[in-house]
Amino acid sequence: QMQLVESGGGLVQAGGSLRLSCAASGRTSSHYAMGWFRQAPGKEREFVAAISRRGGSTSYADSVKGRFTISRDNAKNTVYLQMNSLRPEDTAVYYCAAGLIDGSSSRASYDYWGQGTQVTVSA
């Protein structure tokens, strides 16, 4: 089993920045592709960003492209999501996930999930 723990969420004004972290334990995270998803109240959980096992390839949802950056430090078993130019519509619970398919935007591709961290962006 792999455990994923997100941190770094909070309340920020529109235009501000936050950096989310996802710490992995239980299995070697470098063996897994990692992704970030988010879920706003009353909405489906949606893909945000993904990074390949070695970090050489990333992908983003169109809604965050150019504002968010996903990265990973395999020595620390940690994945990050740097979020800049935040907007009220970015408000959601953000989830970290691990799977075996590099670059996937599908929830079904991810086998392990964290509990989520709340991000709230005020107008």
Q: Chain-wide mean pLDDT for the chain?
A: 96
Residue 100 dihedral angles phi and psi, to the nearest 5°: -105, 5
Place of tokens 């989310």: 20
Question: Over the stretch 22-50, which tens digit does the pLDDT of each residue have?
Answer: 999 987 778 899 999 999 999 999 999 99
For 62-88, the pLDDT digits (tens) are 999 999 999 999 999 999 999 999 999
Output the pLDDT for position 28. 77
Closest alpha carbon to 7 in 119, 97, 86: 119
Q: Percent of the chain at pLDDT above 90?
A: 90
What is the full DSSP assignment across 2-62? -EEEEE--EEEETT--EEEEEEEESS-GGGSEEEEEEE-TTS--EEEEEE-TTSS-EEE-T
The position carrying tokens 């009353």 is 42
pLDDT value at residue 30: 82
Tokens read off for 24: 């992995």
State residue 63's pLDDT score. 97
